[in-house]
Amino acid sequence: GAGVSQSPSNKVTEKGKDVELRCDPISGHTALYWYRQSLGQGLEFLIYFQGNSAPDKSGLPSDRFSAERTGGSVSTLTIQRTQQEDSAVYLCASSLDISGRRALRYEQYFGPGTRLTVT
């Protein structure tokens, strides 16, 4: 089946503009994660959604960052008033089910990422 998809694949924007990044998780996956990866660096956790529970926003770096997940599927990460330091690859990942401690599958599958460049 289809994997995690993200759009756009590349986004160039001017400093101060708002951007929206989209993630389509694997069908049936209830958990969705956003990460940020700067060039040559590791994975910085931003936010995750699990089913209908309140999202864990503890990784969002500032109030310019927000995310939504509509209908338990597609998610949008919004960055307002972009800054040059926001330039990075934004990765989305999904996993099957973490609602119960007896879940059989915990594996995260990553999308191809959106490369954001703020000029």
Partner 1 sequence: GENVEQHPSTLSVQEGDSAVIKCTYSDSASNYFPWYKQELGKRPQLIIDIRSNVGEKKDQRIAVTLNKTAKHFSLHITETQPEDSAVYFCAASYYGQNFVFGPGTRLSVLP
95 binds partner 1 (CB under 8 A): yes
Beta-bridged to residue 108, according to DSSP, are 95
Number of H helices, E strands in the chain: 0, 10
Q: Is 114 left (phi over 0), alpha (psi -120 to 50) or beta?
A: beta
Is 94 exposed, middle or buried (CB count within 10 Å of its CB: 0-12, 13-18, 19+)?
buried
Kindly write out the interface string for residues 21-60 of this chain, putting x where it contacts partner 1 by CB under 8 A and - elsewhere: ----------x-x-x-----xxx-x--x-x-----x----
The interface region with partner 1, picked from 11-19, 63-71, 74-82, 103-111 by CB under 8 A, is: 103-111
Q: Find the shortest distance in angstroms from Cβ 80 to partner 1.
A: 26
Residue 94, interface with partner 1 (CB under 8 A)?
A: no
Question: Counting contacts by CB under 8 A, is residue 98 touching partner 1?
Answer: yes
Name the residue among 88, 94, 79, 62 with its Cα closest to residue 18.
Answer: 79
The residues of the shown chain that bind partner 1, judged by CB under 8 A, are: 31, 33, 35, 41-43, 45, 48, 50, 56, 91, 95, 97-98, 101, 103, 106-113
